[in-house]
Amino acid sequence: METTTNTAALAVDQKEVKRIVQAQRDFFATNGTKTIAFRKKQLSKLRQLIADNEDAIVEALHQDLHKHEFEAYATEIGFVMVDLDKALANLSKWAKPKKVKTPPFLFIATSYIHPDPYGNTLIIAPWNYPMQLLIAPLIGAIAAGNTAILKPSEFAPHTSALFAKLINSTFEENYIRLIEGAVDETQWLLNEKFDYIFFTGSTKVGKIVYQAAAKHLTPVTLELGGKSPCIVDNDTHLDYTAKRIIWGKFVNVGQTCIAPDYILVDQKVKAAFIEKLKYYMQQFFGDNPQESESLGRIINESHFDRIVSYLGDGDAVIGGQHDRSDKYIAPTVLDNVKEDSSVMEDEIFGPVLPIIAYGNLREAIAFINARPKPLALYMFTKNDKKVDRVIGETSSGGVCVNDTLMHIANPYLPFGGVGQSGMGAYHGYESFNTFSHQKSVLHRSFLLEEPIRYAPYNLKRNWLKKIMDWTL
Ligand code: NAD
C-alpha cells in the first residue's frame, strides 16, 4: 500500500481521528513496518529530527516549564538519545527469534519465541517531561515494528506544538501521527480499537484508560504516579544524603513522578538532617531561589494553587514563599505534618517536602506498607542489612539506594510501577519487549509419526504417565 500524503495540520475532529486510526491499521496490514531495515531507518529519522532541533526543543521546554538547558538535556533530550542509540545498536539482536528447549516427547521439533509487533499503538503522555515521556515509548513502538499515534499533554503547549510540527512533517500519517489535544481528543482516540496502549499520567486518568482498553481487550502499560517515600537512616552519609535528596526533589520543581514525595527520617538525626538541607538548599539556589536560573516553575495556576494549599499542613522550616504571577514556589521543607493531612494523602508533585521522624525501621516500613504501593522507594544508609530488609519487606515499582531518581537512568533496569503506581515497564530492551507480543512457535518435522496419540486409544494411563515423566 502507498503511504498517504502528510500535512502538518494539527486540529482534528472525531471523524479525522477515526480515519487516521484506520489508515494506520491498513498500513500495518501491509507488513510495511516489520522489516528490521525499515525500523532502523525510522529510528534514525527520529534521531536526526531531535539532533537537528535541539535548540528549538530546549526553548519549548523553557517556555513550558522554565527548564534550564542543562536539565532539559539531562532529563529529556539526552535521555531519549541514549535510548535511541541503544535501540539502534541492539535492534537486530532483540528482534531475533529466541530458541527455547523442546521436550523429547515432541521429537522432532524446534521451539522458539518470535517477538511480534502488536500492530497499531497509542501513546498518551503527561506534561511534566513532555518530550521524554512522549518519545521514549515511541522508540519502543518503532523498534518493535508497530505504527503509533502520539497524544501529548495540552498543558505543555509549546513542546506539544513543536513535536506536532516535527513528527508530522517527518513521518507519514499512516505510520506515526501526533494528534494534539486535551480530554475530548483523548476520549475520541480511546473510543477506537488499538492493539496496544501506553499511558503515562495520573492514577485517576489511568483508570479511565484501563476501562476504555478493556472494551477492546487491548493490553496496556500504565505508567502512573503516587507518593514515593524516602527513608533516611541514622547511619548514613548525611551531606551526600541531603544533596542527593534536594536534587531529586527539586529538579523540575518537584514535578517528577519519582520525586521523593516525603522523608521518613530516624529521629536521632532529624535535626542534623534539616540543618544539612538548609545549608545545601542555600548553596544550590541562593538566598532568593526565585532568582535562580536553575529552578523551574509550576506548570499552571491550578497546580500552583493546589501545591500552595499544602503549605498550611505543616511548619515551613525552609522556604514557604510563593508568587502566583510567576508560578513560583520556593523549595520548601515542612515539619510537624499530620499523617492524615492532604500533603500526606495526595501526590505532592511540587517543591514541598514533608519530614516525618520515626523511632525504628519497623515503624518506617509499616508506614510505607499502610499506603498504596509507590512508584519509587528511596533508602539512605550505610547498613546493607537494613537495605535488604526494606527491599524484602516493602513493595514498590523500583528502589534506589543512596540516591534519588538515578535508577531511571540505567537502561538495563526496567522502569514501571506496581499496584496503584502502574503496570508494565519500559526503557532499553524492555521498551522493545513491552511493544512486542512474545509469540510462541513450535515447528515440527514430518520425519517421525507417533500413532499412540490417535483414537482409538490403546495405551493405558500408567504408560502415558511414564512417557510424560520421562520427557520433563
Ligand atoms: P493526567 O493523567 O492528568 O494526564 C495525562 C494525559 O491524559 C494527558 O495527555 C491528558 O490530556 C490526558 N487526559 C487527562 N484527563 C483525561 C480524561 N479524563 N480522559 C482521557 N484522557 C485524559 O496527568 P498529568 O497531570 O499530565 O501528569 C501528572 C501525573 O502523571 C502524575 O500523577 C505523575 O506521577 C504521573 N506521571 C507518571 C510517570 C511515570 O513514568 N510513571 C511519569 C510522569 C508523570
pLDDT digits (tens, 9 = 90+) for 103-154: 888 889 999 999 999 999 999 999 999 999 999 999 999 999 999 999 999 9
Alpha carbons 8 and 170: distance in angstroms, whole number? 9
Query: pLDDT band at 459, cuts 50/70/90?
Result: confident
Average pLDDT over residues 210-229: 97
180, 192, 223, 347: which one is catalytic? 223
Q: Does the pLDDT of residue 357 top 50, yes or no? A: yes
Residues of the chain with pLDDT > 90, as a percent, come to 92
Query: pLDDT band at 466, cuts 50/70/90?
Result: confident
Strands (DSSP E) contained in 41-136 are 98-100, 109-117, 120-124
Alpha carbons 47 and 81: distance in angstroms, whole number? 7
Query: pLDDT band at 450, cuts 50/70/90?
Result: confident
Average pLDDT over residues 353-382: 98
Pick from 99-103, 161-165, 363-367: least confident:
99-103
In total, the chain counts a number of residues equal to 472
- pLDDT score at 376: 98
Q: Does the pLDDT of residue 164 top 90, yes or no? A: yes
Residue 230 a catalytic site member: no
Residue 223 a catalytic site member: yes
Query: pLDDT band at 451, cuts 50/70/90?
Result: confident
Whole-number average pLDDT of the chain: 95
Does the N-terminal peptide bond of residue 108 adopt cis geometry, omega within 30 degrees of 0? yes
| Cell triple for 388 | 535488604
Alpha helices (H) in 266-397, listed in sequence order: 270-285, 301-310, 342-345, 361-369, 384-393
Residues 346, 372 contacting (CB under 8 angstroms): no
Count of Cβ atoms closer than 10 Å to residue 27 Cβ: 21
DSSP count for the chain of H helices, then E strands = 17, 18
At 328, is the secondary structure helix, strand, or coil? strand
Between the CA of 335 and the centroid of ligand 1 the distance, in Å, is 29
Strands (DSSP E) contained in 52-151 are 98-100, 109-117, 120-124, 147-151
Report the relative pairing of strands 328-329 and 322-323 from DSSP bridges: antiparallel
Query: pLDDT band at 2, cuts 50/70/90?
Result: very low
Please list every protein residue whose CB sits less than 6 Å from any atom of ligand 1: 124-128, 133, 151, 153-154, 182-183, 186-187, 200-202, 205, 208, 223-225, 257, 347, 349, 375, 417, 422
Average pLDDT over residues 100-105: 90
Q: Does the pLDDT of residue 101 top 50, yes or no? A: yes
Between the CA of 201 and the centroid of ligand 1 the distance, in Å, is 3
Between the CA of 397 and the centroid of ligand 1 the distance, in Å, is 18
- pLDDT score at 452: 85
Query: pLDDT band at 3, cuts 50/70/90?
Result: very low
- pLDDT score at 467: 79
Alpha carbons 134 and 199: distance in angstroms, whole number? 10
Average pLDDT over residues 416-435: 98
Residues of the chain with pLDDT > 70, as a percent, come to 97
- pLDDT score at 4: 40
| Cell triple for 174 | 499512516
Q: Does the pLDDT of residue 58 top 60, yes or no? A: yes
Average pLDDT over residues 416-428: 98
- pLDDT score at 355: 98
Alpha carbons 367 and 80: distance in angstroms, whole number? 35
Q: Does the pLDDT of residue 34 top 50, yes or no? A: yes
- pLDDT score at 472: 57
The residue among 231, 264, 277, 253 whose CA lies nearest residue 337 is 264
Ligand 1 pocket test, pick from 205, 215, 426 with the greatest ligand atom count within 8 Å of Cβ, gives 205
Tell me the domains of the chain and their CATH numbers: 14-224+425-436 (3.40.605.10), 228-416 (3.40.309.10)
More confident residue, 1 or 294: 294
Q: Does the pLDDT of residue 10 top 70, yes or no? A: no
Residues 292, 387 contacting (CB under 8 angstroms): no
Give residue-wise pLDDT tens across range 192-205.
999 999 999 999 99
Residue 233 makes CB contacts below 8 A (sequence gap 6+) with 266, 361, 379, 380, 381, 382, 383, 386
Strands (DSSP E) contained in 393-462 are 398-401, 422-423, 436-444
Average pLDDT over residues 250-269: 98
Between the CA of 128 and the centroid of ligand 1 the distance, in Å, is 9
Average pLDDT over residues 275-280: 98
Residues 263, 230 contacting (CB under 8 angstroms): yes
71, 173, 192, 257: which one is catalytic? 257
Q: Does the pLDDT of residue 403 top 50, yes or no? A: yes
